[in-house]
Chains A and B, each alone.
Chain A
């Protein structure tokens, strides 16, 4: 379906240069003022910078993989997979996450491209949610974080199994909705003409245009999410949770909420989860399964990628299945 770009006001080259000069002057002013003398500003900037510096390379790797899918994978390949029956397709998509060892920021652009290239959107969503939880690097880091503890295999196995179940359940909820029902059009691409006088542009040119577009599209939401997450981390003391650690359901909800606001990379969150010794294994699992699927920076990325109603579906679906799953694991394993 052709996407028509809305008419919008354009700017001249002079205006663009003026904005660039303004930014540089503002940076010089910032250097002279040195706002980092104020403790909370310093803390905010350090956390904000570290979130971006760690996550942006993964967004770039995700954009790279997505552009390779867009330009070099024949459209029929993924359409064939899309014709598989859903009970087969969703677990297959979830297990494909095993082969994608990067964290959650990279899986969003890849899922979007997979859906655009013909994979059933629900399978793309399942892949997007599962990959950051079950990939080998994440499982290994969970193993190391809990090594030497009696709960080691509960945490490693529980994270893998529950991650798969939650991802498949949310994919199932997405059902047979089309990609236009789930995904927003990318405004970066809406006005890009990847044809030159009726002929498609060369592959390498399309590859770099898609790569840049995906980075610019995802990057803006990552910056927004990192800003919110850094602000919360600057002011929220983790000790506020201590008094509520003993309450079963509340402790699960709290740990899910904490995972969402901390917005940690799924490759490091196990070390932080393991530090919450006042919480039981179920609550720590809730943190480890929910966080890589729903956090502040991811919600910002989802808001740019999916239609609003589906963002709500993902958040509610992941929260509900994680809660039920961890409650059951609590009953079974304590």
Chain B
């Protein structure tokens, strides 16, 4: 902006005329980035896709972020008409493009979950506090979280051992390692505390499966008798049925 322009603006003020007001490209482009992120959070909220990234404990951040980002977008646009508009620099444009890129990637691609690829790279679930206690493991319907938590403490192991032979009904996806026998697989589910980055693994070994019937990452419902053996839990399957991926694919701790 030249000094002459500023001078002209000042002269207009002295003359009692309002200074010319124009859109600031820098502020408008910033508002567009904010708007893109606001739109993404609304999209996640309205489509229920937040369940693919967050646990039930932290899903509140989605409406909060959507609301604040929307207000910030509107506020920035409302303050984008100025007497000294700022241009956008090349570097800033590149940065803004980089900031919008994740929005487009997340919105454009179909929702996906962690699968068998990560199962041997993540640690086992150990949240005995929030989710489960030995008392809870010892009574009521057994869940995969109960089973996983039961494997991490002597009290849990004892409580789980008392449930040997009981029928369980678990939903998870199929995972196989190189040394998994053909008629077995590991039924896996991730347990998420805040977001998928903190996912830990809850797994049981399913025996008596038809060889070749299910591939890695297939979602199945397994019904069978449970047998805790040391730190491992085995489910002797009486029924294994393919099921669609649950709307909430991660278990929450």
Q: Which of B49-57, B179-187, B218-226 contacts A (4 or more CB under 8 A)?
A: B49-57
Closest to B109 in A: A36
Residues on the A chain within 8 Å of B114, using CB: 43, 46-47
* A interface residues, how many (CB within 8 angstroms): 91
Q: How many residues of B contact A (CB 8 A)?
A: 90
The minimal Cβ–Cβ distance linking B2 to chain A, given in whole angstroms, is 14
Contact present for B121 and A236 (CB under 8 Å) = yes
A153 within 8 A of B: no
Q: Are B89 and A8 in contact (CB under 8 A)?
A: yes
Interface residues of A in 16-57 (CB under 8 A from B): 16, 19-20, 23-24, 26-28, 30-31, 34-36, 39-40, 42-43, 45-54, 56-57
| A192 CA to B26 CA, complexed, in Å | 9
Q: Is A72 an interface residue (CB 8 A)?
A: no
CA separation between A259 and B204, bound complex, in Å?
27
Across the interface, B194 reaches (CB within 8 A) one of A47, A54, A205, namely: A54
B37 adjacent to A56 (CB under 8 Å): yes
Residues of A within 8 A of B124 (CB): 275
Find out whether the CB atom of B78 lies under 8 angstroms from the CB atom of A208.
yes
Closest to A195 in B: B84
Please name all residues of chain A whose beta carbon is closer than 8 Å to the beta carbon of B76 when the two chains form the complex: 208-209, 211-212
Nearest B-chain residue to A29, judged by Cβ: B108
Distance to closest chain A CB from B17 (angstroms): 12
Residues of A within 8 A of B164 (CB): none
- Considering the complex, give the chain A residue whose CB is closest to the CB of B23: A13
In Å, the complex CA distance between A23 and B96 comes to 11
Interface hits, B93-136 → A, CB 8 Å: 93, 95-102, 104-110, 112-118, 120-130, 133-134
Distance in Å: Cβ of B35 to nearest Cβ of chain A: 11
B205 within 8 A of A: no
B134 to chain A, nearest CB (A): 8
Q: Which residues of A contact B115 (CB under 8 A)?
A: 39, 42-43
Q: How far is the CA of A77 from the CA of B237 in the complex (A)?
A: 68
Bound-complex Cα distance A53 to B66 (A): 11
Check if A127 is an interface residue, CB within 8 A of chain B. no
Partner of A239, one of B9, B120, B197: B120
Q: Which residues from B are CB-within-8-Å of A177?
A: none
Partner of A216, one of B25, B68, B96, B198: B96
CB within 8 Å for A148 and B194 given contacts A212-B31, A219-B99, A272-B200: no
* Chain B residue nearest to A273 in the complex (CB): B126
Assess A54 versus B97: contact at CB under 8 Å? Given A146-B129, A216-B30.
Answer: no
Q: Given A11-B89, A23-B97, A148 and B122 touching (CB < 8 A)? A: no
Q: Which residues of A contact B65 (CB under 8 A)?
A: 56-57, 60
Enumerate the 8 nearest inter-chain pairs by beta-carbon distance, A residue then B residue, closest first: A208-B75, A268-B194, A147-B129, A57-B65, A50-B196, A27-B104, A275-B126, A39-B117
Known: A230-B197, A233-B197, A274-B126. 16 other contacts (CB 8 A): A10-B88, A45-B112, A50-B53, A52-B102, A56-B65, A145-B127, A145-B130, A192-B26, A196-B19, A205-B79, A211-B75, A211-B76, A262-B197, A264-B198, A271-B127, A271-B198
- Give A residues with C-beta under 8 Å from B: 8-11, 13, 15-16, 19-20, 23-24, 26-28, 30-31, 34-36, 39-40, 42-43, 45-54, 56-58, 60-61, 64, 141, 143-149, 187-188, 191-193, 196-198, 201, 204-205, 207-209, 211-213, 215-216, 219-220, 223, 229-230, 233-239, 262-265, 267-269, 271-272, 274-277
Residue ranges of B at the interface with A (Cβ–Cβ < 8 Å): 6, 9-10, 13, 19, 25-27, 29-34, 37, 41, 44, 50, 52-54, 58, 61-62, 64-65, 68-69, 72, 75-76, 78-79, 82-84, 86-93, 95-102, 104-110, 112-118, 120-130, 133-134, 152-153, 155, 193-198, 200, 253
